[in-house]
Structure 1
């Protein structure tokens, strides 16, 4: 009898993981709480709770994973390569640059809108005979014993009682599964809200991405398909987000971008609708317990400052599938608790490094003390001028040294 894995959570991580498993001939039952949008029009990518206005900067490693899945040709048309990264601080002298050609790589990664990424992933999942997709269904109970994990779920039409040797919980930062298992989580509220949108500028982006630290928060400006389109992710202090939202504030938002960013992009001419997302760090105390493993934001939700969150989740998923493939080759139990603990242990170094880095950047650049600003900018200059640092940082950012 073929072993079947249950995945709870059909966001970008859940869908990607399901496709990785199917490629290894592992059957998947994938449950998603929200009904997926209608994709009748091939030119549209309607928003879903998991495929919203945000963008993902896919690292080279994540791109490689999608290439292995045979998906990159479909994704490439919606993606833009990052050929250069500039890091600066408003009103300060420090500046650091990473240039793909100098690091002898084709690009540092690719920027793609989550709505398009989600559409491609979902379309591919629906083609896979080994994946059974059940959306619009809410999990109401999760239990396990020595032999199986058991879940109960319900939709408007019916109730489900399912069991599996392995259950993967990829149901987000407020994970029901994590709570049902009694797994605690530490949480740090950054008191920030990310303002997310796309803008049009008078100068072409030339595949250059910028991280601009400002008193308001770290402004990320990344290239999008279309010579003059750029994505904006701007964490601002919680409570100020309404100042930037709504059509009536379009010009106010553009003016603030112009003041913060300067004239490197020319004039900020147009802005799309802005969306806001509260920012916090949520870290599960355990990622594997019995026959259940936490994945994605259920395991670790981190600040988007360096665009590392989704890439870290992709590496987690890839490694887990490697462990499961080895189990399958040996006709062993896919939900073996010792194996899942080994997986968890194998991922801790990479996870802790990324989590600590992102948290340190947010905290370090949030303090406007003049002495700390001097130290930060001296560090940026050192990064720019000391040999050997850039290749090391570039490889980590691309996910190649995980």
Structure 2
């Protein structure tokens, strides 16, 4: 079976993770018809239980920056998301066995919070529920994109679903199909890759002391431990990058107590006793940066454009800002009755995003490299830097605004 669809104001999005779903909802709010292609079959769900884990709706958590919260407020989604989110009112940064420490306190910075932590499975559920209700979004899941071509007028894809072959065309195609993007490869766009030789151990834990909406970043010999508050007074998310090849030491029920003991030793007694751990998952960590993000009528977005280390929780927030800026460029084209896939416009979007992207990428990479080195001189310098951050006037508001995505 073959179907063919094209329209002046039709956009194809390849990749139905959190970035693809969010972008589709943004476009639909501006009366743009979207065909959203996803390789994996979307899960079915009912009631109020968390959505079954799916490609990117998994065990990980996302710390939504204040800017990301504002974007979801403008989409009318924040009330539904807030039910499953926990605000971060303080951020504490320390290094195990060292004197340096830094704190950010929302009240002192005169903000409601630094962001909100939400489990990806809940974020995915809310986004997918809204997409399924949107008549301007055509969900096409369980399909494999096998071809991407374009000419002066249209971008075209072919996709297979069982015995069905779909041929779709649009003025604009958005490739949000992940770190190993087929679309990026089909366009011949190269990447720069840095393997951090780490995997992230991800889970949720229960502690004997309440989290009080405090997020912690604790640099240790095993790796940078992030401990963030979750809904429920005693639940916290754990993201712990450790050396690749050691993951078997931390996974599986038989290692539950070993994992909790390691957390306790690394983190100390600030959270009281680490009492329970959920199932643990691991994800390889690398930096993947596309050489181009706009090629003809195609925009590369999300992890297909830039996959970065989760150390500062900036990856998805950066992608959401990309999507919001692209939306602004597209709506300006519509207001002026211009082509929404005009290559020159897409190149202008790419240039408009480079400064924010490069700043975040450099920051995350430098933190990982700087705190992964046990050289005594470097250790002294970074701890002195943490102390300076905590006491020198003017630094905290600047850093806080960047972390909240308000200076992008």
TM-score, normalised with respect to structure 1: 0.99
Report the Cα offset of residue 240 of structure 1.
0.2
CA drift of 1:369 comes to 1.0
Counterpart for residue 35 of structure 1: 41
Output aligned runs, 1:271-350, within 5 Å: 271-350=277-356
- C-alpha contact 2:50 2:125 (8 A) present in aligned 1: no
* Length, aligned pairs only: 402
Offset at 1:42? 2.5
SS at match of 2:311: coil
Is the contact between residue 8 and residue 171 of structure 2 (CA under 8 Å) also seen in structure 1?
no
**Cα distance in structure 1, aligned partners of 2:367 and 2:206:** 28
- 1:11 — aligned with what? 17
Q: 2:99 aligns with which of 93, 97, 106?
A: 93
Structure 1 contact 94–380 (Cα < 8 Å) conserved? yes
The two structures, once aligned, show a CA RMSD in angstroms of 0.7
Provide the secondary structure at the position in 2 that maps to 1:382. Answer: helix
Gaps of 5+ in 2: 1-6
1:265 and 2:271 equivalent? yes
The ranges of structure 1 where at least 4 consecutive aligned residues each deviate by more than 3 angstroms after the TM superposition are none
**What residue in structure 1 maps to residue 4 of structure 2?**
none
Shift of 1:157: 4.2
Provide Cα deviations, 1:126-181, integer angstroms capped at 9, x if missing partner. Answer: 11111001000010000111111110000114110011110000000000000000
- Residue 104 of structure 1: aligned partner: 110
Task: Give the distance between the partners of 2:8 and 2:329, measured in 1 at CA.
Answer: 17
Residue 111 of structure 1: CA displacement? 0.0
Tell whether the 8 Å contact from 1:96 to 1:384 is kept in structure 2 after alignment.
yes
Residues of 2 paired with 1:15 and 1:210: CA distance? 30
2:398 to 388, 392, 396: 392
Question: How far off is 1:36 after superposition?
Answer: 0.8
| Aligned counterpart, 1:133 | 139
CA distance in 2: counterparts of 1:157 and 1:69, whole angstroms: 37
The DSSP-based 3-state class of the residue aligned with 1:101 is helix
Q: TM-score, normalised by structure 2?
A: 0.98
Q: State how 1:3-402 maps to structure 2 within 5 Å.
A: 3-402=9-408
* In 1: Cα distance, 2:100 partner to 2:85 partner: 30
Give, in angstroms, the shift of residue 40 of structure 1: 2.2
8 Å CA contact 2:11–2:34 kept in 1: the answer is yes
Q: Distance in 2 between matches of 1:156 and 1:274?
A: 33
